[in-house]
Amino acid sequence: MTPSQIHPVSPGEDHSSVAIEAQSDVGAMGGLGMAPPLPEPGIAWGRYISALRRYKWLMLAIVLIGTAASVGATRFLKPEYRATATIYIEPPPDDAGPIRAAELLRSLGWLELLTTGVVLDSVAITQRLYLTPVEEKDALAFTGFALGEQYATGDYELQVDEAGKMWTLASKRRGVMESGAVGDSIGRKVGFLWAPPLETLARGRSIAFSVVTPREAGQMLLSKMDTKLNNPEQANFIRLNFYGPNAAKTAAILNDVVTKFEEVAADLKRRKLGILTETLREQVDYAGQQLREAETRLESYRVSTITLPTENVPVAAGLQSTQPTVLTNYFNQKIQVEELRRDRTALQDVVSRIGTPGFSMDAFQTIPAVRNAPDLNRALEELSSADAELRALKFRYTDEHKPVR
């Protein structure tokens, strides 16, 4: 019996209860004085069912409130989509080689080009990002909308009358700007090129929209786009993320950004290669001219010094003599000049004896230059034939005869 089980007994009380309690405790402890293990409690399904019954209305209210809140959130919260793209940047050329082109732009330079107005403003014009309808359902009415050279920005509202025959274009800042019949062009006075489809101009319809400059639209486009280089020092890829409420529109805008960037980059590279090609051509022409002038000066120097004493030229084995090609050409040309001079002197002597007694055309054939001239030989043959005919005619006729004259 443990001390907690001993109770004080006053005189006159019945002791039977105490004895019985002591006996039961001793019997329960057993011979070793250890209590037997208690049985493991089971799952209290009854308590859970009782709790569910007790709070069923509270749980039902929580489920209904959560469902209503979710439905309301889907009605008022607009989803946001993300379009991604990756642009590959060509690595710079190796520095090896005598002629190499410098890199057009560094990695950060390509990133700056991507965010310039020449890319973003063009996309804003192509995708008509300068135009924002207040209601998404009015987008069909702006099919073919464009801006002229001079236009006015601001918030506008197009109102069709109840008869469906007239429209009025008003600006929030300047009031009514223009009015006309349904089917006419709208906004010509403010620089709009706009002829909406007739089915979009229903009776009593009101279309509100705003117009900004393409530059402002390009800046808004940039604010919704994230750009990142895989390596700021020497990147090979530019990663783009663009966010928008419409999945198809978001993807189309990002595709146009990438396409325009590629066009601008290709144009820059094309211009650079054209300038580089022209520069290299000028350098090659200049180097060629310098080389030709140097060769001419060298040839002139060798010719002018041909008669001066020179070092002995070594004779190769098996040859009688060896002479530079320049010297050989020089001596050959000098011999040809001497031969032509002798032929010229002989030709002048023969020509001076034409018409003298005893002269014969065969004297020309003694000159080597004449024998090597086919045209002159034919002319001499014709002249010899004519001279023979003349002698035959003179033998038969007098000088007054017509054929002789």
Interval 225-278: pLDDT, tens: 998 887 766 668 889 999 998 899 999 999 999 999 999 999 988 998 898 899
Q: Is the same domain home to 236 and 190?
A: yes
pLDDT at 292 over 90: yes
Each residue's pLDDT tens digit, 185-218: 898 999 999 998 888 888 889 999 999 999 999 9
The pLDDT value recorded for residue 251 is 94
Q: Is the same domain home to 232 and 371?
A: no
Q: Is the same domain home to 52 and 89?
A: no
- The first and second tokens of residue 169, run together, are 């274009």
Q: Is the same domain home to 256 and 337?
A: no
Within-domain flag for 18: no
Each residue's pLDDT tens digit, 358-389: 667 667 777 777 777 777 777 777 777 777 77
Question: Do 245 and 81 form a contact (C-beta atoms < 8 A)?
Answer: yes
Q: Is the same domain home to 156 and 247?
A: yes
Angle (CA) 79-218-136 rounded to 5° is 40
Within-domain flag for 192: yes
Within-domain flag for 26: no
| Higher per-residue pLDDT: 73 or 98 | 73
Within-domain flag for 157: yes
Q: Is the same domain home to 242 and 113?
A: yes
Q: Is the same domain home to 116 and 237?
A: yes
Overall domain count for the chain = 3
Q: Among 228, 248, 263, give the residue marking a domain's end.
A: 263
Q: Is the same domain home to 190 and 246?
A: yes
Q: Among 263, 284, 307, give the residue marking a domain's end.
A: 263
Question: Do 58 and 38 form a contact (C-beta atoms < 8 A)?
Answer: no
Q: Is the same domain home to 380 and 236?
A: no
Which residues constitute the domain of residue 59? 47-76
Long-range contacts of 251-258, Cβ-Cβ distance < 8 Å, separation of 24 or more: 251/83, 252/127, 253/83, 253/123, 253/127, 253/129, 253/221, 254/83, 254/84, 254/85, 254/225, 255/85, 256/123, 256/126, 256/127, 257/85, 257/114, 257/119, 257/120, 257/123, 257/221, 257/225, 258/85, 258/87
pLDDT at 52 over 90: no
Instruction: Give the residue from 204, 206, 207, 200 showing the smallest Cα distance to 163.
Output: 204
Q: Is the same domain home to 66 and 118?
A: no
pLDDT at 48 over 60: yes
> Helices 45-54 and 56-76, interaxial angle, to 10°?
60
Each residue's pLDDT tens digit, 115-157: 888 999 999 999 999 999 998 888 888 988 999 989 999 999 9
Question: Do 54 and 43 form a contact (C-beta atoms < 8 A)?
Answer: no
